[in-house]
Amino acid sequence: MKYDDASWHVGGDFPKELPPEAGATHIGMFAAWCMLNGLAGELHEVELDDDLQHLRQRKVTPGAWFIAACDGKLVDEDLNDEGNDFAKSYYNDAQPNYLSDLTRAVGDRLPSPYHLPDSWDIYDQLAPLLTFRYGEWKQQNS
């Protein structure tokens, strides 16, 4: 299953002044949070462990890591079973969902979600909200 793909965002209304990589930043923030919170799939834990270590050590930004390690696509093999269950619920379907939370948390002051800076500062602003939503989801599904 494919949850999101940076290439889906680069056409149409995508801001012409931004590089194509900006279409991956919002996905990379979610994927990085999953990787750093025990929801990484075996692919990342075993085969791409060096990339995951660079993410953990903050040697690479979430968006840059996502493009390099996931080819700009968030798919089910990126996550473990629990990560997939959470992503299926929160990434697209829940209300509020990830994109609405992202906009409220860090995107309200930006011209578009694609203007989201690929930085650890943005990640650090968003991570507590993702942790909260994950806790809510776990409570509802236990």
| pTM of the model as a whole | 0.95
| pLDDT at position 106 | 86
Rounded Cα gap, residues 9 and 5, in angstroms: 7
The Cα 57–Cα 66 span in angstroms is 15
The predicted pLDDT at position 96 comes to 87
Taking only Cα atoms into account, the Rg of the chain, rounded to an integer number of angstroms, comes to: 14
Contact criterion met (CB below 8 Å) for 60 and 21:
no
Cα–Cα dist 36/30, whole Å: 10
Given a cut of 80, whether residue 12 has pLDDT beyond it is no
Cβ burial, residue 74 (10 Å; 0-12/13-18/19+):
buried
Query: Where does the chain show beta strands of DSSP type E?
Result: 2-5, 73-75
The per-residue pLDDT for range 76-124, each reduced to its tens digit, is 999 999 999 999 999 987 788 999 999 888 877 899 889 999 999 999 9
Number of domains the chain contains: 1
Q: Could you list the residue range(s) of the whole structural domain that residue 67 is in?
A: 2-140
| Mean pLDDT, range 50-71, rounded to an integer | 96
pLDDT for 48 equals 81
Say what the pLDDT of residue 13 is.
81
